[in-house]
Structure 1
Amino acid sequence: MNTSVTPSTDSRLIAVVGATGNQGGSVVDALLGRGVRVRALVRDLGAPAAQRLAVRGVELTVGDLTDAASLDTLFDGVDAAFAMTTPIPGGTEQETAVGIAIADAAARAQVPHLVFSSVGGAERESGVPHFESKRRVEERIESLDVHHTFLRPVFFMDNLAGFSTSVEEGQVVVRMAMPGDIPLHMVAVGDIGKAAAAILLGGTAVEGTSVEVAGDSLTGEQIAQAIGAHAGLPARYEALPLEAIASFRDTAEMFRWFTETPAYQGDFAATRALVPDVLDFPSWLASSGWNPTASPRM
């Protein structure tokens, strides 16, 4: 990652929640790349992730998302804010509580525009716990007097580099708990950041509404073949029974929902309007630096 300071050419100041994580970090990258000033909340100024932000010119405030005063400081005087929530590590109830606290703080600070990154399908009663928790946050935001846009990403391409894929006896094997002929909408995390930055900076057609961002739609079998082509290896897809991941309740519910098509309903045209160079899956593989042959056997 580029750690150099990006000269600011834009006087606007945008707060980013989750700046030390992958998705929030992608928003920081996109905003700094456009010369915009960024403010982020961190727990520890001396932590490596915080130091990497500081070196790049990000304004840091110290605090915690569960502390109202910390959120008030984060949002004080900003021109816009990006926020996201995650069920890790506290679970979906804590995720909703944190999201509501963020929404309330944005309203108190009269943030001119709040972009909340939720999830594709949040509004469609999916029954997936970490989708429903984000919907509760959306509902809170909708109830408040704060100008907002909902960014709803579909499945992260980046997740396929962390699980589901292994190399066994010289062959790429992709395993997921869904039939191999059902398409899955996907998006690169970096493109979520670019889409968020475009909305935050204003002038987009989706501002004040919601957009389900997606860069590609491939079946499990097509995903396996794309990874195999990237690795220069033969590939196969194996559909796991849903029972194989039943102990992971949230994940199991998500894959159950994937089979109830249409599940994700990515707006490819709107995504491309926000991110003209949005990546399809093969392009993400080529640019990611990920080598599946280096992944541990699953």
Structure 2
Amino acid sequence: MPEPLLAVVGATGQQGGATARALLDAGARVRALVRDPAKAGDLAGRGAELVRADLQDPDSLRTAFRGAQRVFAMTTPFGEGGPEAEVTQGISLADAAADAGVEHLVFNSVGGAERSTGIPHFESKRRVEEHIASLGLPATIVRPVFFMENLPWMVATDDGEVVVRMPLPAGVPLQMIAVADIGAVAAAVLLDPSRVPSGSIEIGGDERTGEQIAAAFGERAGRPGRYEAQPLDGLDEDSRAMFAWFGTPPAYRADFAATRALAPGLQDLPTWLAGTGWSG
């Protein structure tokens, strides 16, 4: 039997790219769905088949999925139209996968989506999850926690110190994961969906308070680290709801052991910082 063909949506983006690279590292047959093939030369050079597709064009998705046995799909709430547009994207993706006869869909959602958080971009992903379930399409829902890649935007230097400022109360732990590890988990599930028999998994790589995050950044930069909790005022509605949820634990509930079983190279924050070359 030939190896299954695995289609990856958003293969030039963060999560899709990480998934495509992990699959190629494993020697899988990969079809990379991209809007601009010129930006995916590295994937083509590693053997991926490039197919032009657009989340706004359901016909292009059905064509791109045709012949693929398994699909990795994700949506984003941060473009034009916000979370409502994300729901539309997700429904189109799921419908296209079902129409194309895909055997298994791996949908990247968000940790806590199933727990009625009230966070707009969590609720939009939950609506996509519900639509996937309504189709009866075999699927695995992967729910990552906070991205480590978001942390450097909250870091500054002040009088020789590394200062982390977040709208998160002092002493409250935040679960986090590196995007590369999200890709490793998604790839593992695409290669063998039976590895998540429950059909869903919340994934994380580390858990640290604001003070511990600041200490990790400070140690990496060779400077003292300081944490300053910020108020929720001034955040947009979505971010305010998310950080308010973070601040009243338990919020994220990642299964760290199951994550590591799927991604043996799972990174904690210091390991991820070292790998990025971040130095302050």
Partner of 1:274: 262
Please tell me the residue identity of whatever aligns with 2:205: G
Q: How much has 1:203 moved relative to structure 2?
A: 5.7
**TM-score if structure 2 supplies the norm length?**
0.96
Runs of 4+ off more than 3 Å: none
Partner of 1:250: 238
Q: How much has 1:64 moved relative to structure 2?
A: 1.3
| 2:247 paired with 1:259 | yes
1:102-122 per-position Cα deviation (integer Å, ceiling 9, x unaligned):
001111112111000000000
SS at match of 1:18: coil
Please tell me the residue identity of whatever aligns with 1:177: P
Equivalent of residue 42 in structure 1, options 19, 34, 47: 34
Q: How much has 1:285 moved relative to structure 2?
A: 1.0
Partner of 1:64: 54
Where in structure 2 are the equivalents of 1:3-22 lying within 5 Å? 11-22=3-14
Please tell me the residue identity of whatever aligns with 1:101: S
Instruction: Give the conservation status (yes or no) of the 8 Å contact 1:213–1:268.
Output: yes
| 2:216 paired with 1:226 | yes
Partner of 2:204: 214
Q: Which runs of 5+ in 1 are unaligned?
A: 1-9, 294-298
Partner of 1:190: 180
Partner of 1:98: 89
| 2:114 paired with 1:123 | yes
Equivalent of residue 168 in structure 2, options 158, 178, 192: 178
SS at match of 2:201: strand
Q: How far apart, in 2, do the equivalents of 1:144 and 1:104 lie?
A: 8
Instruction: Give the conservation status (yes or no) of the 8 Å contact 2:148–2:178.
Output: yes
Partner of 1:7: none
| 2:98 paired with 1:107 | yes
Task: Give the aligned length.
Answer: 278
Instruction: Report the RMSD for the aligned CA atoms in angstroms.
Output: 1.3
SS at match of 1:211: strand
Identity score, percent = 56
Partner of 2:18: 26
Equivalent of residue 241 in structure 1, options 206, 231, 238: 231
SS at match of 1:61: strand
Instruction: Give the conservation status (yes or no) of the 8 Å contact 1:87–1:130.
Output: yes
Q: Which runs of 5+ in 2 are unaligned?
A: none
SS at match of 1:243: coil
| 2:126 paired with 1:135 | yes
1:10-50 per-position Cα deviation (integer Å, ceiling 9, x unaligned):
7321000111111110001100000011112222333xx22
Equivalent of residue 74 in structure 1, options 52, 64, 84: 64
Please tell me the residue identity of whatever aligns with 1:282: P
Please tell me the residue identity of whatever aligns with 1:18: G
**TM-score if structure 1 supplies the norm length?**
0.90
